[in-house]
Amino acid sequence: MRQFILALDQGTTSSRAILFDRDGRVAGCAQQEFPQHFPQPGWVEHDALDIWNSQLACAREVLRTAGIVPQQLAAIGIANQRETTIVWDRASGAPIAPAIVWQDRRTAEACEQVRAQGRAGLIQQKTGLELDAYFSATKLQWLLDHVPGARARAERGELAFGTVDSWLGFKLCGRHVTDVSNASRTMLFNIHTMRWDEELLDLFGVPAALLPEVVSSSGQVGLTQAEWLGHPVPIAGIAGDQQAATFGQACHRKGMVKNTYGTGCFMLMHAGELPPQSRNRLLATVGWRIGGRTDYLLEGSVFMGGATVQWLRDGLGIIRQSSDVEALATSVPDSGGVMLVPAFAGLGAPYWDPYARGAIVGMTRGTTAAHIARAAVEAIAFQSAVLLEAMQKDADCPVAEVRADGGAARNDLLMQFQADLLGVPVVRPQVTETTALGAAYLAGLAVGFWQSREEIAAQWHVDRRFEPSMPPERSAALMAGWRRAVETVKSWAA
């Protein structure tokens, strides 16, 4: 029978299941959105059972619609929204509270208290991360302190903590594991020793009994229970979504850069086999571990990328569906001087300001919905351009190109404007589902479906290359205007 790899791509707003053949081509896809919950300003929650049920439904649907039986699956790879924090009962498998999503800012004050203790430097040195509510540690601490009885139950070993990969793995095969890339996003994992760090566990009051076993990104961790897909299938690849996308983009060599345009935007540069040190408030993170070799990445995070377009749709109602934004934005020649700073969940790298809030500046009586739509698209590019500037300073080497992926990478207006701001080509591959593809590649390598990274890299092909066309002085002026706009929103809610 012809074989495939099934990638489970569990994202912030939807779950997807994608089948890949040996040539790295999509053989089937299913997707399902699930509810987002905003119980208080700055809070973002998911029902962990919604995550599980939607992901399982997608896996079953893609097999059914593609006419593939589970015996044809060589392996499953998991890619997941990172940092989102789930605690569940080990015996029943039931979550004890809603999942706290990576965008959630409720623990910003807790981070400030840790900063006041002078521990931010220690955290950055051990984890490669900025002290911020973005990461899992303070979210987990909050759950232990606010769910009645949770801390005592955790200390007795009755509860399990995990990011979404751990949750899905537990539900699928009963094992409590996470891979090195996801562990490195918790603010509890030492990226030098590659272990959970006792000093950090003590700092955040996290019992070690809660934690999953840390495994390689490529390697068999268990078989799915037959009831889920009708036949046991090995889970053989796990990675956080951005690390998976970097691997799927074949950024396997030092200095290669990709940018994912999803709910947020995440720019990552391959940094080699040693943890990098950022001087510009970027993150050092584990990329993946394969066969005993660990690759590291330098990362910049934008919290509101495609989510900004979703806000135009759901919040303002000026478009009916997200894909309508390009036509509306291109109906005007430029933004008419309007700039939209989408700091709805604070500002990520390199600012790390949890108290920033969104704003639209530069409006006049002539401003229309089209100008605001154009400003929203351009905001995605502005935020990413700031990241590349910081990345090039840290890496001290020129970037030859940026490989783009994610849903918004299909927006030609955005891709061209991004190339103009960066001053380097932006390259869109034929397969833009690189998050799922990376998870598939990691799983396929573990079971011999693919033999090497070189074989994988040979499957990467260009769809379109966007060359910079804007005069440098014009892009510099636009970037200066963006920085001025950002200054207006900093610390707004402090």
Residue numbers in the known binding site for ATP are: 12-14, 263, 306, 310, 407
- Going by the annotation, the residues of the binding site are 12-14, 16, 82-83, 134, 241-242, 263, 306, 310, 407, 411
CA–CA separation, 233 and 255 (whole Å) = 36
Do 267 and 298 form a contact (C-beta atoms < 8 A)? no
| Interatomic CA distance for residues 79 and 443, integer angstroms | 11
The angle at the Cα of 21, spanning 16 to 24, to the nearest 5 degrees, equals: 80
At position 492, the amino acid (one-letter code) is W
On whether the CB atoms of residues 168 and 98 are closer than 8 A, the answer is no
Q: Per DSSP, which regions of 225-303 are E strands?
A: 234-240, 257-261, 265-272, 283-290, 293-302
How far apart are the C-alpha atoms of 301 and 241, rounded to whole Å? Answer: 13
Residues annotated in a binding site for ADP: 12, 16, 263, 306, 407, 411
The single-letter DSSP state of residue 346 is: B
| Vertex 301 angle, CA 468 and 437, to 5° | 80
DSSP 408-458: GGG-HHHHHHHHHHHTS-EEEES---HHHHHHHHHHHHHHTSS--HHHHHT
Report the C-alpha gap between 133 and 108 in whole angstroms: 5
Annotated binding site for sn-glycerol 3-phosphate: 12, 82-83, 134, 241
Burial of residue 118, with CB atoms counted within 10 A of its CB: 0-12 exposed, 13-18 middle, 19 or more buried: exposed
Are the C-beta atoms of residues 212 and 88 closer than 8 Å to each other? no
Rg of the chain over all Cα atoms, to the nearest angstrom: 21
DSSP string, 44-111: -EE-HHHHHHHHHHHHHHHHHHHT--GGGEEEEEEEE-SS-BEEEETTT--BSSPEEPTT--TTHHHH
Lookup: tokens for 45: 């929650």
Residue ranges of the annotated binding site for glycerol are: 82-83, 134, 241-242
| Residue partners of 51: CB distance under 8 A and separation at least 6 | 10, 15, 34, 99, 164, 167, 168
- d(CA 294, CA 184) in angstroms, rounded, equals 12
Q: Is the dihedral of CA 147, 104, 128, 408 positive or negative?
A: positive
In 3D space, the residue among 78, 92, 69, 51 whose CA is nearest the CA of residue 226 turns out to be 69
Please state, as a whole number, how many other Cβ atoms lie within 10 Å of the Cβ of residue 97.
16
Three-class SS state of 439: helix
